[in-house]
Structure 1
Amino acid sequence: MKLDWIKVRSLLTPERVGLVDPLKKIEWTYKEINARAENLAHYLKQQGVVKGDRVALYAPNDLSYFDVLLASIKLGAIFIPLNWRLKPIEIKRVIEDAEPKLILHSSQISERLSFVDASLLSLDVDSEAYNEICESPNHVEFQSESLELDTPVMLIYTTGTTGDPKGAIITHNGMVNNSMNTIMSWNITHDDVTIASAPMFHIAGLSGIIIPLLLIGGKVIIDRFFDGAHTNELIKQYKPTMLFMVPTMYYGLISTEKFSKNNLESVHTFVAGGSPPLKEVVNYFVKENIPLINSYGLTEAGPNNFKLTGDIALQHPFSIGYPSFFVEAKIVDENDKEVEQGQVGELLIAGQHTFDGYWNNPEETKKAFLGAYVRTGDLAKKDENGLFYIVDRKKEMIITGGENVFPSEVEKVLNDDPCVKNAVVVGYEHPRYGQSVGAALIYDGDRSNITALEQHAYNNLAGYKTPKQYLFLDAFPVNSVGKIDKREISRLLNELSFVEINH
């Protein structure tokens, strides 16, 4: 089966503009997008890339995401968008697990690839050489591979509970079904325009609105690095009709001095996802009578699983809504029995849009499923109207500004410091990021000077994973069964005056 959807789109609407890069002041029609992807596919094939090989990209939001993804689809290769916010050692672990044939990279941020085998660094996507390959005037049509729907199209890496990276396998079937569900649930048409501000190395940033919009023939404005003031200017200039951002980005948007409600007049659909709703953001949208849809998903499922109408979003601003088209959702107790309405349990999701397991990791794959259902690790409840709400994390993952942090990974780094006798890492409330990372320590050192500890954390963890507050204790609080009381630690951290550690 030919799954090369960009070629079909280029035939249906060849002269319609699909992508715009404000930084480069260039726009591309669907005919040109397809031609770029075919030119790059020829190049990758010459480099030895064949069906089933992995092709990685390390870049901020950029045209190259579309070039490499669409070229990979033509080749039957598997696209890996790398998280450029990770530290060199973290990126090295991902590369060792995925074993890509080559890595295309942005020279602007390539210093974090220092631990990666230099022979894998194929092409600088910021270079003139890359542009000449993709824009070659001697375009030759590429004969796309025939693929099955269950063929992997992407590997999106997450960090497991052990701190080891896990590559979630997204199949063509999963990608297309998520897009179809999204198009129907959010009433997306070819007249819609969005600004791609969320990081495209995340499933939500790439598949939340962007891929569905391109499938149907809409327009995507590329926002290389999100900045509240700059993105406000893009909204004024390009007048998007749909926006997807994580809550902390909406916070940055509405809190900048350049913000005006009038900037948002063109937008008919606002979608927030990637982390729990922020009260300040919700309160603003409710006050202004603007519906804000809480999108719920995860790398392993979706990312879009629920739908909300505008009226319901305003009346129930913290709900994630009803299950979307062709999505099954249920809430189960610790014995995997479905709970009654109003009771809290783990949310499970099933459908053709879910992932196909973890790359070369059958043990973790088995844990991720209950039959056809994906275990989300989130605690949820359903009200009398059938609306779903996320209550808490079943797992102890911290979501800070849309980024996932596993406490065990941070604890392991902190405990390597000789002065740290024991560390417990938890999330605490933050007005902008939803949660921040905090650490309670049994510390045998100078508590008034922890510069070395902070530097140790920063050297071994991505900035968003490093603790922003430290709580020094002589003993950890325990609960009634003698276990460390992490809720009490979180409460104590919330009581501390907030001092941002600017990493």
Structure 2
Amino acid sequence: MQRPALVGDWLGRRAQLSPEALAIIDLSRADNPEPRDIDYATLDRETNQVARWLASQGVGLGDRVAILAKNRIEYVQLWFACGKLGAVLQTLNWRLTAAELEPLVAHARPRLLCWDREFSALAANLRGRPGASSVQFVALDRSDAEPDPCLSSCRELQDTPLPAVELAPSDPWVLCYTGGTTGTPKAAISTHATVTWNAINTASSWGLSHGDVAVLNAPMFHTGGLNVFTAPLIHVGGCSILCREFDLEQLYDLLERRPVSCLFGVPAMFQAMQAHPRWATAPIERVRTIISGGAPCPGPVFEQFWARGVDFKTGYGLTEAGPNNFWLPRERVRDKPGAVGWPLMHVEIRIVDAGGDACGPGEVGELWIRGPHVSPGYYDDPQATAASFVDGWLKTGDLAHTDAQGCVTIVGRSKEMFISGGENVYPAEVESAIAGHPDVVDVAVIGVPDPRWGEVGRAFVVLRPGAQLELAALQQFSGERLAKYKLPRSLVILDVMPRTSAGKLDKRRLGIEQGSI
């Protein structure tokens, strides 16, 4: 049968178009550090074997297949095998506890849960819980000590494709979870159409091509690992270097030894890069596209990249939209610092005030996004879907403004903004200023109650080893960059900053510990 457009087996189509092109350089195998080069023909054949094995376990159209694993080739193959079958991949965060995973599994009701032997204790704990009692657990690796069925047995099966399944562009392909900084993560639905349109938007607007090579060390349980570069590069026939996780020494080795042209990371990753001795000599100038996402990026990070001649920029994305939405042309990077740029080819935006009316240039409002890359909603959660998706628009909850040319800057989350003496304070702006202090390694700012001003800022900072910092000195430094009402009125020194699994500052945890929420 003929599949509708945008649906199903586009890995198979890419293998027809670019069979010998390098798809994956696999560095993810914990038992073997040697790289394995996988071309598109091989990747497709092995994915067909995974699809056949899933089908033999009763997986079919609409069934969920959960995965609890670090980055590995089976992650990619399960993802695209689900696409071939019309099944839905449920990506589970391996940093969560069994108690946190149980409601996610109970909610999505996967037929199978594929787990990595590194998480055998976590899988065993989860298996014993009522919410996972109906799930069949599948080991990714063969082990005589484990009674579960093993996915590696799929290599005994034929590698030809199964008969095509009748699918629609609106059929779900992935359940990917939101960051969870405001409570229980929600399962955003990525359909065949939304994944494909994000790839189209990214390739056409960012200029990706078959010659691009990206480092994939972001966790694949988040949309950043799946969809910032990985799916778009498969769409255009490029290559991903698959790393099990973020390892700074490995990243520097890759930058020196491989033709890396694309790199995505969260601000904490780039801060770690710049604090490392290899920063000064690494050939980062050869990387054409370096983009930060997941959280606001401090200004000093930009400046250090720019000093090396690298057009470093910040992106903006959501699990519910893409995640890629904007692009800042390299010729505008330095004259629009901190801006995310203009919407991609098939992305529409609005910035609206509290009444839903459009904001003018320079006016801060909530960012709304619309386009074929936007999720239809949250899995089996009509109430949350109705709250965030209205008439085709995704209400992001993020605050933004445009300049006179329509270039967009994100200023923070609406829930993070606080009002001090009648003035709006955006923590991301304050954090960027404080991050420029030479003794500050990491910073977060939240609003706390104040009897006079209503709310004032409280800064949490991590200092470089041996450094000391008093509030007055921080205020004096920041006062050169910020209005007086934006300055923090209290200071807390931390050994380490709490972060979510996506690398975002966990301000909810800070607020709870401070008793402000």
**How do 1:242-253 residues align onto structure 2 when only pairs under 5 Å count?**
242-253=262-273
- The alpha carbon displacement at 1:130 in A equals 5.1
Matched residue, 2:303: 283
| Rounded Cα–Cα distance in structure 2 between residues aligned with 1:70 and 1:497 | 45
**In the alignment, what sits opposite 2:402?**
382
Q: 1:95-494 maps to which residues of 2 (within 5 A)?
A: 95-117=105-127, 120=135, 122-127=137-142, 132-136=152-156, 138-158=158-178, 163-396=183-416, 429=431, 431=435, 436=444, 477-478=450-451, 485=455, 487=457
Contact 1:330 1:347 in 2 (8 A): yes
Tell whether the 8 Å contact from 2:340 to 2:407 is kept in structure 1 after alignment. yes
Distance across 2 between alignment mates of 1:311 and 1:332: 29
Q: 1:248: Cα distance to partner? A: 1.3
> Which residues of structure 1 form unaligned runs of 5+?
398-425, 441-475
What residue identity is the alignment partner of 2:142? Answer: S
AA at the equivalent of 2:256: K
CA 498–99 in structure 1, closer or farther in 2 if over 3 Å, else same: same
Distance verdict in 2 for CA 1:57–1:323, change over 3 Å: same
Tell me whether 1:55 sits opposite 2:65 in the alignment.
yes
- TM-superposed deviation, 1:369: 1.9
Distance (Å, rounded) in 2 between the aligned partners of 1:74 and 1:154 = 13
Q: Once the two structures are superposed, what CA deviation does each residue of 1:188-223 show, in whole Å capped at 9, x if it has no partner?
A: 010110110111111112100111001111111011
2:209 aligned partner, one-letter code: T
Q: Deviation of residue 393 (structure 1)?
A: 0.8
- 2:325 & 2:498 partners in 1: Cα distance? 35
1:40 touches 1:68 (CA, 8 Å); kept in 2? yes
Give the Cα–Cα distance (whole angstroms) in 1 for the partners of residues 283 and 490 of structure 2.
35
8 Å contact kept, 2:68–2:94: yes
Give the CA deviation at 1:110. Answer: 3.4
TM-superposed CA distance for 1:439, in Å, is 11
Specify whether residues 435 and 176 from structure 1 end up closer, same or farther in structure 2 by C-alpha distance, changes over 3 A only: farther
Aligned to 1:18: 23
**Structure 2 counterpart of 1:496:** 492
Residue 275 and residue 182 in structure 1: after superposition, are their counterparts in 2 closer, same or farther (change >3 A)?
Answer: same
Q: Distance in 2 between matches of 1:67 and 1:263?
A: 32
CA contact (8 A) 1:438 1:493 kept: no
Shift of 1:84: 1.1
Opposite residue 344 of structure 1, the aligned amino acid is: V
Partner of 2:494: helix, strand, or coil? coil
Partner residue in 2 for 1:92 = 102
Aligned mates of 1:30, 1:86 — CA distance in 2: 33
1:434 Cα offset (Å): 6.0
Q: SS at the partner of 1:358?
A: coil
Q: Deviations over 1:28-62 (max 9, x none)?
A: 11111111111111111111111100001111111
In 2, Cα distance between equivalents of 1:355 and 1:40: 26
Task: State whether residues 103 and 121 of structure 1, in contact with CA within 8 Å, keep that contact through their aligned partners in structure 2.
Answer: yes
Using the alignment, how far apart are the partners of 1:234 and 1:356 within structure 2?
38
CA distance in 2, matches of 1:159, 1:314: 30
Q: What displacement does 1:135 show?
A: 3.6
For the pair 1:76 / 2:86, whether they are aligned, the reply is: yes
For residues 249 and 48 of structure 1, the distance between their equivalents in structure 2, rounded to whole angstroms, comes to 41
**In structure 2, do the counterparts of structure 1 residues 292 and 257 end up closer, same or farther at CA, with 3 Å as the change threshold?**
same
SS in 2 for 1:258: helix
- Cα distance per residue 1:247-285 (max 9 Å; x no partner): 211122232123344422431111111111122311101
Quickly say closer, same or farther: Cα 1:111–1:502, change in 2 above 3 A. farther
CA distance in 2 between counterparts of 1:493 and 1:226 reads: 36
Match of 1:28 in 2: 38
> CA separation in 2, counterparts of 1:349 and 1:241?
29
Q: Aligned equivalents of 1:253 and 1:62: distance in 2?
A: 24
Query: What is the deviation of 1:384?
Result: 1.3
The 1-side partners of 2:168 and 2:52 are apart by: 21
Q: Distance in 2 between matches of 1:310 and 1:193?
A: 19
1:367, CA displacement in angstroms? Answer: 0.6
Whether the 8 Å contact between 1:155 and 1:167 is mirrored in structure 2 is: yes
Structure 1 counterpart of 2:57, which letter?
Q
What amino acid maps onto 2:396 in structure 1? T
CA contact 2:313–2:338 (8 Å) conserved in 1: no
State the SS of the aligned residue for 1:496: strand
- Deviations along 1:97-155, whole A, 9 cap, x unmatched? 11111111111133333442366353322437857434447434322312100001111
2:28 is the counterpart of 1:8: no
- The one-letter amino acid of 1:28's match is I
Say if 1:194 and 1:241, in contact at 8 Å, map to a contact too: yes
2: CA distance between counterparts of 1:147 and 1:493? 57
For 1:402, the equivalent position in structure 2 comes to none
**Alpha-carbon distance change, 39 to 315 in structure 1, aligned in 2, over 3 angstroms:** same
Provide closer, same or farther for how the CA distance between residues 236 and 159 of structure 1 changes in structure 2, counting only shifts above 3 A.
Answer: closer
Q: What TM-score comes out, normalization by structure 2 length? A: 0.78
Identity of matched residues, %: 32
* Equivalent-residue separation in structure 2 for 1:101 and 1:375 (angstroms): 32
Structure 2 unaligned blocks of 5 or more? 28-32, 144-148, 418-426, 461-486, 500-517
Letter in 2 for 1:103: L
CA contact (8 A) 2:399 2:413 kept: yes
Contact 2:445–2:457 (Cα < 8 Å) also in 1: no
Q: Cα distance, 1:181 vs. partner?
A: 0.3
1: CA distance, partners of 2:342 / 2:34: 40
Task: Give TM-score, length-normalised by structure 1.
Answer: 0.81
Give the partner amino acid of 1:109. F
More deviation, 427-436/302-311: 427-436
- Output the CA distance in 1 between the equivalents of 2:445 and 2:150: 39
